[in-house]
């Protein structure tokens, strides 16, 4: 059965429109400080989440082989507490994820081996890049539980969207209404452009089509 978000009509949406729709419903979801690092900026899919913690010297774990359990089309969301001194994603993972049809990776932290991600065309969004491994520094703490992308909470199955503007997250229970509102915003904004091309001033077109109220709840 096709998920709601897989409907082709939603593929025209930009994150700016989804962010405005989230504002309309009073929902958080626009994750500040994350940007694409591999030059492949489009991702769209349900979250597979992991949370890392500093390594437990008495009971050490690993950075994990979680990639074996991720399904095609999912977006891997890694919460490393925003750390920028060690990585939780590198070139081996990028190549395997790309070969398995995983939609992309989003990291509350940093990644390395960026060139390998670029070469295989795999989307990665993070807070930056740094070469030092997370091995023996952090370990997997939780899988498919709530994680953080800074000021945005992400749960398993939430819709994660990435483009050149960054990352937005839509709660799983609100996907259809948020995407439908974003689509209405997209169509209104296109109508404004068409109206100006047909002779209206921008002020007239915006007033006619309610541009300044698009993101405001009624």
Distances (CA, A) of 135 to 54, 59, 140, 169: 10, 14, 10, 28
Average pLDDT rounded to a whole number, residues 140-152: 97
Contact indicator for 127, 108 with CB cutoff of 8 Å: yes
User: What contacts 218, CB < 8 A, 6 or more positions away?
Assistant: none
Given this model, what pLDDT does residue 1 score?
Answer: 54
| Cα-to-chain-centroid distance, residue 196 | 33
Mind listing the pLDDT tens digit for each residue in 153-180?
999 999 999 999 999 999 999 999 999 9
User: What kind and span of H or E run contains 121?
Assistant: none
Question: CA-based angle 49:53:58, to the nearest 5?
Answer: 135
- Beta strand 104-108 with 124-126 is parallel
User: What kind and span of H or E run contains 24?
Assistant: helix 15-24
Given this model, what pLDDT does residue 3 score?
Answer: 86
Kindly state the percentage of the chain with pLDDT values over 70: 99
Contact indicator for 20, 178 with CB cutoff of 8 Å: no
- Beta strand 43-54 with 75-79 is parallel
- Residue 195 structure tokens: 């109206």
Helices (H) and strands (E) in the chain, counts: 5, 11
Unique residue bearing structure tokens 């994660």: 160
What pTM was estimated for this model as a whole? 0.93
Mind listing the pLDDT tens digit for each residue in 42-89?
999 999 999 999 999 888 888 989 999 999 999 999 999 999 999 999
């Amino acid at each position: 059965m096709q998920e709601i978000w897989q409907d082709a009509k939603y593929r025209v949406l930009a994150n700016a429109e989804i962010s405005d729709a989230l504002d309309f419903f009073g929902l958080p979801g626009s994750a500040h400080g994350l940007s694409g690092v591999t030059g492949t900026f489009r991702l769209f899919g349900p979250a597979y989440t992991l949370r890392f913690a500093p390594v437990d010297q008495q009971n050490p774990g690993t950075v994990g082989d979680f990639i074996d359990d991720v399904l095609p089309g999912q977006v891997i969301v890694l919460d490393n507490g925003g750390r920028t001194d060690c990585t939780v994603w590198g070139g081996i993972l990028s190549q395997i994820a790309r070969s398995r049809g995983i939609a992309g990776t989003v990291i509350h932290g940093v990644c390395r081996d960026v060139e390998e991600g670029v070469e295989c065309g795999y989307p990665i969004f993070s807070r930056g890049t740094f070469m030092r491994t997370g091995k023996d520094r952090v370990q997997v703490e939780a899988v498919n539980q709530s994680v953080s992308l800074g000021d945005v909470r992400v749960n398993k199955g939430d819709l994660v969207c990435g483009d050149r503007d960054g990352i937005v997250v839509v709660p799983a229970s609100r996907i259809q209404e948020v995407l439908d509102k974003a689509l209405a915003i997209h169509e209104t904004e296109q109508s404004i452009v068409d109206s100006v091309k047909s002779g209206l001033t921008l002020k007239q077109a915006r007033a006619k089509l309610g541009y300044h109220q698009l993101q405001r709840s009624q």
